[in-house]
């Protein structure tokens, strides 16, 4: 019954989780929140993570009721993500692994999301829509790889939402996407925005440029409200995501869809995906904010699977990498 400790800190969330045999024993997390109108810079984010990571480690062990001797493996986010935060977390993971004399495992962040989604929902072989501030991919498992069927060709959908939130100076607490979602519920008017699906892929930079351009003018003239813009942006980008997910499901003959990543917490996105799945006779799976948003337990879970399959990361190869494709990892723990 191996117990794995996982460190996650690739963006502005830092989490330490403990998983043992499919059970999440602990999953504390902290978020680095910046003032409205601003985003998070790598150096500041890393500084935040350095300040809290050891407290989180202590908290995780206490919550799990375990000591260092009970842990069988240390997992950490190898990538993708922001360099300075990744490095800070990796230093702690390496040090702890040596001090406790435990094997170390570098985990792909995207695969962490997928494996946690599979664990929590019980989905067997879904088409995965992975949507967050840093990533937007449609993924399906095939022959020992999580294959990317479609993705953004420029910025992630969460990045689009976050940067729009800055234009309107929407609060980043608890997250800009959450606040956009709440404002969108009060939107009444659909503003036509560029809809950009390119085959299996999507593009969000154009819609962001457009809405950044027109927002101030339309708000100043009273043509629409900020709530209308939030509503319109969500409806447009989410419809794009539903389209490419449906296309992948049709391609794979899939009857399951799983949403993972921070944007997956959005109830409107889940609602639109549910409608599409029902029309196809498919089933939708989604998790709540504990596991949708970046967290340590997802790294621990992916690490647990990898550990049992015999993966190990030597210290000399335990660097981090800002660009780490989901399909680079050989998924030896699945048939």
Partner 1 sequence: MQAADLGGGGVAGGAEGQGGPDVPGGQEGPGGGGAGEAGAAAGGAPPVERAPHAPGPGGDALRGLGGHALPGPGGHAAPWPGGHAAPGPGGHAAPGPGGHAGPWPGTHAASRLGGPVRPTATGPGSQLLQFSLTVSFPSPVEAEMAGQSLAPRVQPYQGAVQKELIVSGNILAIRLTAGDPGQLRISITSCLNQLSLLVQTMQHSVPLFFTKPRPGNRA
Residues annotated within a binding site for a divalent metal cation: 109, 113, 130, 294
Residue 259 Cβ vs partner 1, minimum distance, rounded to whole Å: 17
Q: Which residues are annotated as a binding site for substrate?
A: 130-134, 162, 177, 181, 266
* 66 versus 308: smaller Cβ distance to partner 1: 66
**Nearest Cα to Cα of residue 239 among 275, 292, 186:** 275
Cβ atoms of residues 8 and 296 within 8 Å: yes
**Nearest Cα to Cα of residue 102 among 21, 185, 216, 6:** 6
* 160 versus 184: smaller Cβ distance to partner 1: 160
* 87 versus 239: smaller Cβ distance to partner 1: 87
Residue 89 Cβ vs partner 1, minimum distance, rounded to whole Å: 10
Cβ atoms of residues 244 and 275 within 8 Å: no
* 17 versus 81: smaller Cβ distance to partner 1: 81
Q: Which residues contact 278 (CB under 8 A, 6 or more apart)?
A: none
Residue 83 Cβ vs partner 1, minimum distance, rounded to whole Å: 3
Helix (H) or strand (E) holding 198: strand 197-198
Residue 159 Cβ vs partner 1, minimum distance, rounded to whole Å: 5
The phi-psi region of residue 17 (left if phi > 0; otherwise alpha if psi is between -120 and 50; otherwise beta) is: beta
Q: How far apart are CA 299 and CA 4, in angstroms?
A: 9
* 225 versus 321: smaller Cβ distance to partner 1: 321
For 75, 79, 318, the CA distances from 314, given in Å and listed in that order, are 12, 16, 6
Residue 295 Cβ vs partner 1, minimum distance, rounded to whole Å: 16
Chain residues binding partner 1 by CB under 8 A are: 10-12, 34, 38-47, 50, 53-54, 57-58, 68, 79-84, 86-88, 90-92, 94-96, 98-100, 109-110, 133-135, 137, 148, 151-156, 159, 162-163, 166, 315-326
């Amino acid at each position: 019954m191996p117990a794995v400790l996982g460190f996650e800190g690739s963006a502005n969330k830092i989490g330490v989780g403990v998983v043992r045999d499919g059970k999440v024993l602990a999953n504390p997390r902290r978020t680095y929140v910046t003032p409205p109108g601003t985003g998070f810079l790598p150096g500041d984010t890393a500084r935040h993570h350095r300040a809290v990571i050891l407290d989180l480690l202590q908290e995780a062990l206490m919550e799990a009721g375990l000591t260092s001797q009970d842990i069988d493996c240390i997992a950490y986010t190898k990538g993708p993500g922001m360099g300075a935060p990744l490095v800070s977390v990796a230093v702690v993971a390496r040090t702890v692994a040596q001090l406790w004399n435990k094997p170390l495992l570098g985990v792909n962040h995207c695969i962490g999301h997928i494996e946690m989604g599979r664990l929590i929902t019980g989905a067997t072989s879904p088409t995965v829509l992975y949507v967050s501030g840093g990533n937007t991919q449609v993924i399906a498992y095939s022959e020992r790889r999580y294959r990317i069927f479609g993705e953004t060709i420029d910025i992630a959908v969460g990045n689009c939402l976050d940067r729009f939130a800055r234009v309107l100076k929407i609060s980043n607490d608890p997250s800009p996407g959450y606040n956009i979602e709440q404002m969108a519920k009060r939107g009444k008017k659909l503003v036509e925005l560029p809809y950009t699906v390119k085959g299996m892929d999507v593009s969000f930079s154009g819609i962001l440029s457009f809405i950044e351009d027109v927002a101030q003018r339309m708000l100043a003239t009273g043509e629409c409200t900020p709530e209308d813009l939030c509503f319109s942006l969500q409806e447009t980008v989410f419809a794009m995501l539903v389209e490419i997910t449906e296309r992948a499901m049709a391609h794979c003959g899939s009857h399951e869809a799983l949403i993972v990543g921070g944007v997956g917490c959005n109830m409107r996105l889940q609602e639109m995906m549910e409608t599409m799945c029902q029309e196809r006779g498919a089933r939708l799976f989604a998790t709540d904010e504990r596991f949708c948003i970046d967290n340590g337990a997802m790294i621990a879970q992916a690490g647990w699977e990898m550990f049992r399959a015999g993966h190990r990361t030597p210290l000399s190869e335990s660097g981090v990498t800002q660009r780490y494709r989901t399909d680079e990892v050989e998924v030896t723990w699945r048939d």
